[in-house]
Amino acid sequence: MSPAEKPAFAQLAEMPGWLVGQASLFSHRLLIDRLAEEGARPYHYRLLAALDEAGPLSQADLGRRTGIDRSDVVAALDELVAAGFMERAPDEADRRRNVVTVTGAGKRRLRKLHRLVNEVQDEFVAPLTAAERKTLVRLLGRILDHHREA
């Protein structure tokens, strides 16, 4: 059968961009479902992890660091503050800004979510060997770096 005679789906299945997109959808669904079982969302994990890594940040800096839209940052922070995982306080240098910090409960929550996220990652790449996983991560990183620089 010539390439022109292949069904459209077979042609798509040979396109890296389509495959990456489909894999991304599957991975994201796994993550959303598992986080939901713990009463969390992906934004919660991203915000907790960013603050744990960087230390206290303004809401705007937190949004930039995580790539989350400002209104979504505010909504997710409201949830995390209400749950006692984060605290907001006016910035001493600029009272118009809020500085966000992770609480002790938030650090414990992050450790639990981090284990869960790692389990999801292991489930997602289960058919690959350890060496194949490293290769996949390296190659996807190269693609992302290339397009971020463009």
Query: Which residues is 101 bridged to in the sheet?
Result: 87
Q: What is the mean predicted confidence (pLDDT) over 59-85?
A: 94
Q: Where do the domains of the chain lie?
A: 22-149
Q: According to the model, what pLDDT value does residue 7 have? A: 56
Q: What is the CATH number of domain 22-149?
A: 1.10.10.10
Query: Distance between CA 68 and CA 80 in Å, rounded?
Result: 15
Residue 76 corresponds to which tokens in the numbers above?
């997710």
User: Radius of gyration (Cα) for the chain, nearest Å?
Assistant: 19
Question: Is the pTM of the predicted complex or chain greater than 0.85?
Answer: no
DSSP notation for 48-97: HHHHHHH-SEEHHHHHHHHT--HHHHHHHHHHHHHTTSEEEEE-SS-TTS
Q: What is the mean predicted confidence (pLDDT) over 36-52?
A: 96
Residues in Cβ contact with 16 at an 8 Å cutoff, skipping those fewer than 6 apart: none
Which of the two residues, 98 and 84, has the higher pLDDT score?
84
